[in-house]
Chains A and B, each alone.
Chain A
Amino acid sequence: MLVFLVRRVLTMIPTLFLISIVCFVLIKLQPGDYITQFLDDPRIGPETIAAITRQLGLDQPAYVQYLKWLGGVVTEGDFGFSFLNNRPVASLIYERLGWTVAVAGLTIVFSWLIAIPLGIYTALNRYGWAANIANFIGYIGLATPDFLVALLLISLTLNMGGTNVGGLFSPQYIDQPWSLAKFWDMLGHLWIPLIAIGLEGVAGLMRQMRANLLDVLNQDYVRTARSKGLRERTVIWRHAVRNAINPLITTAGLSLPQLISGTIIVSIILNLPTIGPFLYDSLLNKDQYVVMTLLMFSSLLLMVGNLLADLALAWTDPRIRFE
């Protein structure tokens, strides 16, 4: 087990290295660079453009820029600085990490808490009207892009005379210290992103859970268990559901990078202070070291998520052994 873990962690290093090269090449393949956007600004003359280019090291060959960045990461844990903000990348990401983790974490929990029971219910009561309604909502959730759901919810709230149509707080609470009133205000805002981001996840997970469970219910061991005379509840919860949930654990691991890039559009529309829009701005502005760091972070999360999923699978599924 420990050997497996160490081996997995070690293989991440060359993978990340390769990913970083691919990312940097892709960034450099985009037409123009950070400077391009300033060409039509009457405040900025050609001399200033030249000075900024030199300050940022953009006048050096691409491989030198890459090696310098990599050198900083490896030797000092320095992920470069943001062209836009004149500040180290790490501190900028750190500022936005809290709300990103909170929002993404809550939506993941929200979608699991709703999707798994619904999936089980619809699998067990395939032809009931309640199951049909749940399925129908599931299809709609799958078919509707999350930003559209966000817009619909905003419009609905506005028409009902509500004022919490974006952000996480009402304006007056944003820079106030935490209080019960602020907490309530947050809950009043949070339901829109939870539904908008979570709904798509709910639908997908529910359909997956239902299919898995239906699959498992036809397996021999379930019939064996039933014929042994085990109570239906035990058959379903101890044997069937436990097995049916396995593939979803992998899904959970893969959903970690969603933290960064999964909610860009919704975050922009709902005005959430998360990393998504920050990545989007950095991409638009070709703020290369921020983009690099966020993409690397995202890749790392994907690998860590995979690893965690494997470990969780090993724990839930007795058939999996590492040795």
Chain B
Amino acid sequence: MKKGAMLVTATLLLAGAAYAAPKKVDGYASLGVVAGKPGGTYTLALGDSPQSFMYYGVIDSNLQTLAQQMFDGLVEYNYKTYRIEPALAESWTVSSDGKVYTFKLRQGVKWHDGEEFTADDVVFTFEQIVMNPEARAGDAANFEIGGKKVQFDKVDKYTVRVTLAKAAPAFLQQMRTFIMPRHKLAKFTPAGGGKPADINSAWPTNGNLKDVVGTGPFKLASYSTGQKVSLVKNPDYWKVDAKGTKLPYLDRLEFLIIRDPQAQVAQFLAKNLDAININGAQFPDLKQKEVAGAPFKVVRSEALFGSPPHLAFNFDAKDPGLKKAFSSVAFRQAMQKAVNRERIIETVYNGLATLPGTPMPPTSSFYINTQKYMDKFDLKAAGEALDKLGYKDTNGNGVRNIPGGGELEFALTYGTDSSVWPPIATIIQDDFKKIGVKVNLKGIQSSTLLSTGLSGNFEALLLAFGDQPDPELRKPIWQPGGALYYWHRSTQPEKPGGEPNKKAMATWERQVYDLLEKGSTTVDAAKRKALYNQWQVANAKNLPVIMIAKPANIAAVSNEYGNFIYTLGVIPGYNPVPLIYKK
């Protein structure tokens, strides 16, 4: 253990009460949350049929949307600050060395079928399902810390002890993991005599829906293939509003299965859907209708999550001239000046985006403003900077030349099947051309962008990664040598899971690597934040990738419903739906 980590940070967030204490959901007046009234049906869209009802058995965003309403984790996010607060665990303590977490469970919580929720369910969920490497949507890798499996022990009926091999302050984030009912699922796991892979075939969509039980605000009621999934209120839910009224307010939560985003808008306009998330392209039309008096509101919000697009240059480009240029910080800084972020925000996002930050979103408590390192769009300055670096047009054809090499020309890979990538790519191509840098556009399917990046088979690439509240959760992306650090693949370990290739890292990459490594074991919150501040500055100065914009989150909501809080999609531990009420 490092000395710095020895500080005592054990916190007791709520005094552990020994009786069934519902959680009071309070303090969101600034988000416009008011006391609601019970009743009503709320209808949302689901992008496709769920593939199964077993959250850990299939990797399926539609099931995740449903599971979000049916299951809970031990902890969850505050809707406003994104800080971790109690959920199924009423309180917890962390040992002074940061390695032992003791969770006191909320008593009197019931599964949808009336069975009581206990420590057995928690231990079972982690040991038999989440950490089961055969569970397709399990999370075994995140529960191996310091080379050892995280250990879960039942202390008593309502207490669970978790032991880590080394301190990992971001571990608490993993406790948002949904807890599953042992009494229903044991037979699909080795604990109940099954094979490890059996869990994947539990709870199929054509099975008995009554078996699918959780502790969440809604219970599964019915499913019509390709048409609708209905959930009904869990009358025993463990949350109450500020006035003590039981949550959720709604009687029913229905999901219409609608694939096409345009069809979703049509269904929303026809009042068959009560709320939808929309994009910048759909905004003007809906906003116009709202202004003209349509019975809905278009809501714009600065939510935490969402994927800011970036421009990546391949430090390991096959062309030696490009490789040298791309891996040079000065070159990337020069190119950054030629990226017209304002124009992209204006024309591609209809103004519904802001300047990007570092890889941390402004709503995260770790965020610091590094915009002063982000150069203003200035083609002249960009050209001068390239001149200074020796990239001059020596043969007079309008394209700069690489000293001792060919033309300064590269392919920009982007996704064709999207409303944002093609226009961003064209704007970049256009501006780069004006400073004598030739860009050849190379369109591919958006779904293959990342695998193309990871294969190293590109020169420049447009991609976006989702934001998370804690930098630790995105370490594979931003730490040199990480599995998703695709723009500099030669830093990656020879074998997955091995030591990263530090020899290939530039000095600043070594620094970033160390900062993120230290951040993942530093227990002291202030020290940890200081490390991440340094990281964000290093990132902004050295530009591993050039961040382009942070798209805003927009939704349209029927006026008949109150307390709408935007959620981008499925974020375990962030579910404001129980607060929604019908006016």
Point out residues on A near B: beta carbons under 8 Å.
31-32, 36-48, 51-52, 55, 82, 84-87, 91, 95-96, 99, 151, 154-155, 157-158, 162-171, 174-175, 268-274, 277-278, 281, 284
Contacts and interface: CB of A to CB of B under 8 A. Distances in A.
Contacts of A91: 206
A168 B227 contact: yes
Contacts of B230: 175
A86 B256 contact: no
A300 B466 CA distance: 45
A146 B117 CA distance: 53
A142 B583 CA distance: 48
Contacts of A163: 270-272
B58 A39 contact: no
Interface stretch (B88-96, B135-143, B296-304, B515-523): B135-143
A274 B136 CA distance: 28
B563 interface: no
B450 A271 contact: no
Interface in B230-275: 230, 254, 256-260, 262-263, 266-267, 269-272
B497 interface: yes
B451 A36 contact: yes
B541 interface: no
B133 A48 contact: yes
B206 A95 contact: yes
B200 interface: yes
Interface stretch (B218-226, B337-345, B505-513): B218-226
B269 A167 contact: no
16 contacts: A36-B447, A40-B465, A44-B137, A48-B136, A51-B134, A87-B201, A158-B269, A164-B270, A165-B272, A171-B43, A174-B227, A174-B256, A175-B222, A271-B260, A273-B225, A277-B226
Interface in B439-471: 447-448, 450-451, 454, 465-466, 468
B48 interface: yes
A36 B444 CA distance: 15
B224 A174 contact: yes
Contacts of A281: 48
Contacts of B465: 40
Given A87-B201, A164-B270, A165-B266, 14 more contacts: A32-B451, A38-B59, A42-B466, A42-B476, A45-B142, A48-B133, A84-B60, A96-B226, A165-B267, A167-B258, A271-B260, A273-B224, A277-B226, A281-B48
Contacts, number: 150
Interface string B89-125: 0000000000000000000000000000000000000
B496 interface: yes
B504 interface: no
Nearest to A45: B141
A166 B140 contact: no
Interface in B526-560: none
B197 interface: yes
Given A86-B58, A163-B272, A271 B258 contact: yes
B228 interface: yes
B347 interface: no
Contacts of A55: 134, 136, 197, 200
With a 10 A CB-CB cut-off, give which of A41, A51, A158 has the most chain B CB atoms: A51
A122 to B, nearest CB: 35
B451 A39 contact: yes
Nearest to A172: B41
Nearest to A56: B136
B224 A85 contact: no
Contacts of A273: 224-227, 257
